[in-house]
Amino acid sequence: MNRIRVIIKSIEGSEGITKIISNFASSYLTAITLELWQNIKIDEEAFFVFKETEVGIAKEFKGKVSFPNVLDGKIVDLDIGKILSKVVMKVENINISSIITTSSAKILNLEINDHVKLFIKATVVSIEETDE
Check pLDDT > 70 for residue 37: no
State pTM to two decimals.
0.91
Per DSSP bridges, beta strands 45-50 and 84-91 are unpaired
Question: pLDDT tens digit string along 96-109?
Answer: 999 999 999 999 99
Domains of the chain from N-terminus onward: 2-129 (2.40.50.100)
The answer to whether the beta carbons of residues 18 and 42 sit under 8 Å apart is: no
pLDDT of 125 reads 95
Beta strands in 1-132 (DSSP E): 2-14, 17-24, 27-33, 45-50, 55-59, 69-80, 84-91, 94-101, 115-120, 126-129
pLDDT of 132 reads 63
